Amino acid sequence: MEDSRVIERAKQIFEEYKKTKDPSKLNEVIKLLEGRQDLHSLNQLGLVYLEKGDTKKAIECFEKALKKAKSNEDRYVINFNLALALFKDKDYNRAYEILRELVNTPLKTHAQRLLAKVCLSIGDIKHVEEARAILEGFDEPTEDLIVAYIYLGRNSGRKDYLDKAVKYAELIHNKRLLAEALLSYEDKDKIERALDIFRELKDVKGEARALYKLSFYKSELLYEALQKLEESNEGSPQDKIRLLNELYKRTGVIDFLKQAISIAEKEKEYLFLARAYVELSKRENELENLRKAVMYYEEFIRKNL
């Protein structure tokens, strides 16, 4: 089969896959194109591997295709596909650098939207601010813009960002993001509204988080938050450690601290364990518990430095 006909057939099968989601179609394209080293075959193969979730192979295909690209148009398209594969492979820094170059090309709009996602995934204030600035340039608010507002509202103390997050979450009818935005306020009424939404969505972890924040207004709700996590098995071990430790701090009941330590030992949360054993040493077996605290500090340093 001639090269152009092979490529057209591969594209046709890939389009059939998009409609049917039949994974055998992807394997059919791979069988048709595997071993071919021309630019269009490599690019199409990369897209197929990306759809299959094999980001490493997708990256390899796009990098090979890029070396064969002669026109700027081909370079732009393949670089965008490469950036998408790197993003899905969690190589955010490489994806970021490629997309920064693409925002000055005809692919500007697509590149900006993906760049915003990359910035949100990097997740520090500088990059989330960059994502916000990009997304505010579009006509319609998006979920990513709301996520940026929530993050910045929580981490930079900008209440106006939280207000915008609530406004746009209501505008696009996204209850989950609305609940997250409301939960970010230090306002009892707003947190209670977030709790109601999490309950409506049957989001037990969200419900527990809301109960935890409300427990600063009604201390008995802290027990309910922990109970929710234990009943649902949805909360992470770290969530349970945090709640048990908070219960210990508020009540002084040593059993809560011991339960937190027990979970932390299974999860190898060395820094928490070091601090917890220092606290436990004030209550019982001082020398033995201080020895354990030192052991866990050393283990934390060994693992992280």
Q: Is residue 59 part of a domain?
A: yes
Q: Is residue 156 part of a domain?
A: no
| pLDDT, mean of residues 30-41 | 92
Q: Is residue 257 part of a domain?
A: yes
At 137-164, the pLDDT tens digits run 999 999 999 999 999 999 988 999 999 9
Alpha helix (H) residue ranges in 123-158: 125-135, 143-156
| pLDDT, mean of residues 291-300 | 95
| pLDDT, mean of residues 254-272 | 95
Residue 2 has pLDDT above 70, yes or no: no
Give the structural domain span for 265.
253-305
Which residue among 69, 93, 122 closes a domain?
Answer: 122
Q: Is residue 138 part of a domain?
A: no
Q: Is residue 279 part of a domain?
A: yes
Residue 247 has pLDDT above 60, yes or no: yes
**Dihedral pair phi/psi, residue 174, rounded to 5°:** -105, 100
- pLDDT, residue 234, reads 67
- Please name the amino acid found at residue 235: G
Q: What percentage of the chain reaches a pLDDT higher than 70? A: 98
Q: Is residue 240 part of a domain?
A: no
CATH number for position 20: 1.25.40.10
Q: Is residue 26 part of a domain?
A: yes
Q: Taking Cα atoms as reference points, which of 48, 136, 59 lies closest to residue 95?
A: 59
Q: Is residue 36 part of a domain?
A: yes
pLDDT grade, residue 223 (50/70/90)?
confident
Q: Taking Cα atoms as reference points, which of 242, 236, 233 lies closest to residue 212?
A: 242
Which residue among 78, 95, 122 closes a domain?
Answer: 122
Residue 303 has pLDDT above 60, yes or no: yes
Averaged pLDDT of the chain: 94
Residue 245 has pLDDT above 50, yes or no: yes
Is residue 279 within 8 Å of 257, Cβ to Cβ? yes
CA-to-CA distance for 219 and 44, rounded, in angstroms?
Answer: 58
At 59-113, the pLDDT tens digits run 999 999 999 999 999 999 999 999 999 999 999 999 999 999 999 999 999 999 9
Number of domains in the chain: 2
- pLDDT, residue 251, reads 87
Please name the residue that has the structure tokens 């992807």: 26
> Over the range 169-201, which residues count as b (16 or more CB within 10 Å of their CB) and which as e?
beeeebeebbbbbbbbbeeeebbebbbebbeee
- pLDDT, residue 1, reads 47
Which residue among 122, 143, 161 closes a domain?
Answer: 122
CA-to-CA distance for 185 and 199, rounded, in angstroms?
Answer: 18
| Entry pTM | 0.81
